[in-house]
């Protein structure tokens, strides 16, 4: 059986971007990662690790792959928290009935989405017809 060991993310500053995602996901970077390193590793016990690799070129187009985050708080609380970490809102797809998601960008411009939490999905009822 084949397994995915790392999800590799090209970036300009491995330590800064790695620390951003460490704060988002609640896990620290590896102990041997320091500012200026050409790579940084974020170990995720529940899935493949995130490996940040320094590259000379900047981001040029929309991501072909992105993360969908399901918070343990509400979607809107998570969006606010991520804004304080340096993320920005790219597209807001929230609907008046509570459904939807928010597409955000990390500190290097990579898109990711914030979905509703499991509790929000479980408590949603469709509007009466």
Please indicate, yes or no, whether the overall pTM of this predicted structure exceeds 0.85: yes
Which architecture characterizes domain 1-58 according to CATH?
2-Layer Sandwich (3.30)
Query: In the predicted model, is pLDDT for residue 123 greater than 80?
Result: yes
Instruction: Give Rg (Cα) of the chain.
Output: 16
CATH class of residue range 60-129: alpha beta
Give me the residue spans of the domains in the chain. 1-58, 60-129
List the structure tokens of 17: 């971007």
Query: 46 pLDDT exceeds 90?
Result: no
pLDDT of residue 4: 93
What would the pLDDT profile of 20-36 be if each residue is shown by its tens digit? 999 999 999 999 999 99
Alpha carbon of residue 92 to chain centroid: 16
> Whole-number mean pLDDT of the chain?
95
């Amino acid at each position: 059986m084949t397994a995915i060991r790392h999800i590799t993310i090209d970036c300009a500053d491995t330590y800064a971007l790695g620390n951003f995602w460490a704060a988002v996901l609640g896990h620290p970077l590896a102990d041997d990662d320091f500012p200026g390193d050409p790579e940084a590793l974020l170990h995720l016990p529940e899935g493949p690790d995130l490996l940040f690799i320094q590259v000379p070129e900047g981001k040029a187009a929309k991501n072909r792959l992105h993360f969908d985050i399901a918070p343990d708080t509400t979607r809107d609380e998570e969006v606010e928290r991520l804004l304080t970490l340096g993320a920005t809102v790219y597209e807001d797809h929230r609907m008046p009935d509570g459904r939807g998601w928010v597409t955000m960008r990390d500190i290097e411009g990579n898109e990711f989405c914030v979905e509703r939490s499991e509790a929000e999905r479980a408590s949603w009822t469709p509007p009466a017809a």
